[in-house]
């Protein structure tokens, strides 16, 4: 039983991170019907900038408590990723809005290669350890353990999601975003500045992605220039699972994916008598995805989209 609970905890932690990244994918998709393949790289750069920033502070013997250092790290990483998100949209996507559908996909892949390689040039090939600045108090609940860091991750992720929902549902900006997602032309006629709304969506998504990247790095105690790829892929899977374009779907998909993955990898060894181990962890995301899409082609919470290829 305690293993079960333990895997649930782990799944919730990873799942809330997936959900946070998935929101970035799903918002962009909702408005532009575009897979922002470079989003995973934003996540990675958020983590890398934060780690570098904290290391510099520690190197200068700045005596601040860990969470404060982390906050300063965020204050550096979030603007960097926002700027990147803005630049990516402006350079690689905006000129191609009327182009054939696959063209922006290729520029997205191009951007993601460029960011990945640039990160390799700046930060090198090795894993960057996350500085040990955060208190690692271990709590025991029902035989399973969870660290205060993990609780903080879940809490922060939920708070950010709540903030995003408030922004989208209750503010003027949010209404403009929803209008643009529904029908860009009509929204434009009603006086919504489509370009600035799209820029805004990219910037918000990038900010959430950067925070999620720091969470990944803190949770696994390390970051790497290639980490954005797999985490982006998982988060995108989560977004599709929930029904891409649907914010609630992204959260549901993220949490579900995290839980399935951690339960699956925890129990697969026992179920198959040790023949298949936790090295199949990454397979669950895709198997679940395929099964869900076979029965619900638009995802769990997605609406049926009009038949346009």
Partner 1 sequence: MLQKLENPRARLIGMAVLTIVILILPFVLTGNFESGKSWIRTIDFALLYIMLALGLNIVVGYAGLLDLGYIAFYAVGAYLYAILNSPHLAAVLPAWLISPSFPVMILMAGLVAGLFGVLLGSPTLKLRGDYLAIVTLGFGEIIRIFMNNLDRPINITNGPQGINNIQSIHVAGYNFGRPIEFLGLSFEKVHLYYYLILAFCLLIMFISMRLQNSRIGRAWVAIREDEIAANAMGINTRNIKLLAFAMGASFGGVSGALFASFQGFVSPESFILMESIMVLCMVVLGGMGHIPGVILGAIIVSITPEILRDVINPLQHALVGRKVVDPENLRMLIFGLAMIVIMLLRPEGLWPSKRRKAEFHEKDEEAKA
Interior/surface letters 4-14, b for 16+ CB within 10 angstroms, e for the rest? eebbbbbbbbb
Q: Do 136 and 67 contact (CB within 8 A), yes or no?
A: no
- The residue (of 60 and 98) whose beta carbon lies closer to partner 1 is 98
Angle at 298 between CA 161 and CA 85, to 5 degrees: 45
> Per rule CB under 8 A, is residue 262 in the interface with partner 1?
no
Which residue from 83, 113, 162, 190 is in contact with partner 1, where contact means CB under 8 A?
Answer: 113
The sign of the dihedral angle between the CA atoms of 55, 129, 3, 22 is: positive
The span of 62-70, 174-182, 211-219, 233-241 binding partner 1 (CB under 8 A) equals: 233-241
Beta carbon of residue 242, minimum distance to partner 1 (angstroms, whole number)? 12
- The residue (of 31 and 176) whose beta carbon lies closer to partner 1 is 31
| Cβ atoms < 10 Å from Cβ of 189 | 9
Residues comprising the chain, all counted = 309
What torsion, rounded to 10 degrees, do the Cα atoms 79, 103, 242, 86 define? 10
> Per rule CB under 8 A, is residue 5 in the interface with partner 1?
no
The span of 134-142, 148-156, 179-187, 269-277 binding partner 1 (CB under 8 A) equals: 269-277
How many residues make contact with partner 1 (CB under 8 A)? 54
Output DSSP code: residue 306. Answer: P
Which residue from 10, 12, 16, 29 is in contact with partner 1, where contact means CB under 8 A?
Answer: 29
Q: Report the distance separating Cα 114 and Cα 146, nearest Å.
A: 37
> Per rule CB under 8 A, is residue 236 in the interface with partner 1?
yes
- The residue (of 100 and 191) whose beta carbon lies closer to partner 1 is 100
The H-or-E segment that residue 146 falls in is strand 144-147
Which residue from 68, 71, 117, 171 is in contact with partner 1, where contact means CB under 8 A?
Answer: 117
Q: Which of residues 173-232 bind partner 1 (CB under 8 A)?
A: 229
- The residue (of 124 and 142) whose beta carbon lies closer to partner 1 is 124
Q: Do 210 and 25 contact (CB within 8 A), yes or no?
A: no
> Per rule CB under 8 A, is residue 294 in the interface with partner 1?
yes
Q: Do 235 and 263 contact (CB within 8 A), yes or no?
A: no
Q: Give how far the C-alpha of residue 126 lies from the chain's centroid of Cα atoms, to the nearest Å.
A: 22
Q: Which of residues 81-110 bind partner 1 (CB under 8 A)?
A: 91-92, 95-96, 98-107, 109-110
Residues in touch with partner 1 (CB under 8 A): 29, 33, 35, 91-92, 95-96, 98-107, 109-114, 116-118, 120-121, 229, 233, 236-237, 240, 244, 274-277, 279-280, 282-283, 285-287, 289-290, 293-294, 297-298, 307-309
């Amino acid at each position: 039983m305690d293993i079960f609970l333990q895997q649930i905890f782990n799944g919730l932690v990873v799942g809330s991170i997936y959900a946070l990244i998935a929101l970035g994918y799903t918002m962009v998709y909702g408005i532009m019907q575009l897979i922002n393949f470079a989003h995973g790289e934003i996540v990675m750069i958020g983590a890398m900038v934060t780690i570098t920033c904290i290391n510099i502070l520690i190197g200068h013997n700045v005596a601040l408590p860990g969470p404060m250092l982390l906050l300063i790290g965020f204050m550096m990483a979030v603007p960097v990723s926002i700027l990147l998100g803005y630049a990516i949209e402006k350079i690689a996507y905006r000129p191609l809005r009327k182009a054939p559908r696959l063209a922006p996909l290729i520029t997205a892949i191009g951007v993601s290669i460029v960011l990945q390689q640039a990160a390799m040039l700046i930060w090198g090939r090795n894993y960057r350890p996350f500085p040990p600045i955060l208190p690692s108090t271990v709590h025991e609940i029902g035989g399973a353990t969870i660290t205060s860091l993990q609780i903080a991750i879940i809490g922060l992720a939920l708070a950010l999601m709540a903030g995003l929902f408030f922004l989208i549902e209750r503010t003027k900006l949010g209404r403009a975003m929803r209008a643009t997602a529904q029908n860009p032309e009509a929204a434009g006629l009603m006086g919504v500045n489509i370009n600035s709304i799209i820029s805004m969506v990219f910037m918000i998504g990038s900010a959430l992605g950067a925070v999620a990247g720091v969470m990944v790095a803190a949770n696994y105690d390390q970051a790497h220039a290639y980490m954005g790829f797999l985490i982006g892929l998982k988060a995108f899977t989560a977004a599709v699972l929930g029904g891409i374009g649907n914010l609630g779907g992204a959260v549901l998909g993220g949490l579900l994916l995290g839980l399935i993955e951690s339960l699956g990898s925890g129990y697969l060894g026992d179920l198959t008598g040790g023949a298949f181990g936790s090295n199949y962890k990454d397979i669950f995301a895709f198997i679940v995805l395929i099964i869900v899409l076979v029965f619900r082609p638009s995802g769990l919470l997605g609406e049926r989209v009009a038949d346009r290829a």
